[in-house]
């Protein structure tokens, strides 16, 4: 598949509340380091390369960037790279961040934020990004229990003007219902992809029926999570990629986008060439036969719930 001048607009748009975004966005988790995210020994990414990737993403029409204050390595922080690369921000750029997980200065994981600590986390994102408000803040849920206190704290910050829209990450259907009783939810951001957590298919459809964006992370890496994509691709994915002269990552992204018009992909990379390929995936149209083979591969692989550190 040739990439040419394909832009993020090729896959169409969706609205996060009142904010229109192209369905192919960019995830910043991999920007601070060259190895697996959150690995204490991962080498910091070259600053100039990271900034180049962010600016090129915007040139290619990406107007939805996902980030978090806990995305950092020894010498780099995703929010500060975004600030340096893109500020003053384009009027149509939507920056979505998440709060809940916390790390100490050495990168070790701390207990999740209490409801009282969430304001400080929001203000830290504001400081790092150089903004007076956040477009979208996702509450990253840490378990199956009630979330009303945490989500209510963010709703109060939205009412105070620090946040425009609210979302949820790593969430279960009953927690979405709980949150919606407090304030509107514009997006759900869960780990999901071809062959990864197919038990979420119904939740994906339910979000679409309610007009809620579903933003899958690890849509390329699947169960390998922060380690990135592996070599154990199903033959169906490889066959479609060969036939289309596309990468397996492009096939995976194209499949995800076909799960519904409310699917927003946020592939992350620190490689300028991979960025161009990821954006071009929005123009890859799968035939009914190809889609049927990929759907079968999706249902033939089962994965459990997330484990390990938060995304």
Active-site amino acid positions: 71
List C-alpha distances in Å: 56 to 4, 51, 307. 14, 8, 33
Reduced to 3 states, what is the DSSP secondary structure of residue 164? Answer: strand
Residue 301: count of CB within 10 angstroms of its CB:
15
Query: Percent helix, strand, coil in the chain (nearest 5)?
Result: 40, 15, 45
Q: Return the structure tokens found at 132.
A: 């007076």
First and final CA of the chain: distance in angstroms? 30
Going by C-alpha positions, the residue among 32, 44, 120 that lies closest to residue 78 is 32
d(C-alpha 108, C-alpha 281), whole Å: 35
Does residue 278 sit in helix, strand or coil? helix
């Amino acid at each position: 598949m040739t990439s040419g001048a394909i832009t993020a607009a090729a896959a169409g748009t969706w609205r996060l509340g009142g904010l229109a975004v192209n369905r192919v966005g960019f995830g910043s988790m991999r920007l601070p380091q060259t190895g697996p995210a959150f690995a204490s020994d991962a080498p910091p990414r070259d600053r100039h390369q990271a900034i180049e990737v962010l600016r090129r993403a915007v040139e290619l029409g990406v107007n939805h960037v996902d980030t978090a204050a806990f995305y950092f390595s020894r010498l780099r922080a995703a929010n500060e790279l975004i600030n340096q690369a893109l500020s003053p921000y384009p009027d149509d750029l939507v920056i979505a961040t998440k709060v809940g997980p916390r790390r100490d200065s050495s990168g070790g994981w701390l207990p999740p934020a209490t409801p009282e600590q969430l304001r400080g986390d929001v203000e830290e994102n504001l400081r790092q990004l150089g903004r007076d408000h956040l477009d979208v803040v996702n509450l990253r849920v840490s378990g199956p229990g009630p979330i009303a206190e945490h989500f209510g704290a963010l709703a109060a910050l939205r009412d105070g003007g620090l946040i425009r829209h609210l979302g949820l990450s790593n969430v279960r259907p009953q927690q979405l219902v709980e949150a919606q009783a407090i304030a509107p939810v514009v997006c759900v951001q869960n780990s999901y992809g071809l062959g990864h957590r197919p038990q979420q298919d119904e939740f994906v459809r339910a979000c679409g029926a309610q007009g809620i964006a579903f933003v899958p992370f690890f849509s390329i890496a699947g169960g390998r999570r922060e380690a990135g994509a592996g070599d154990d691709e199903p033959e169906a994915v490889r066959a479609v990629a060969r036939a289309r002269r596309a990468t397996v990552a492009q096939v995976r992204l194209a499949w995800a986008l076909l799960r519904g018009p409310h699917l927003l992909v946020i592939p992350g990379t620190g490689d300028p060439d991979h960025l161009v390929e990821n954006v071009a995936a929005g123009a890859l149209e799968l035939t009914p036969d190809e889609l049927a083979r990929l759907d079968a591969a999706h249902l033939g692989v089962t994965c459990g719930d997330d484990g390990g550190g938060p995304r």
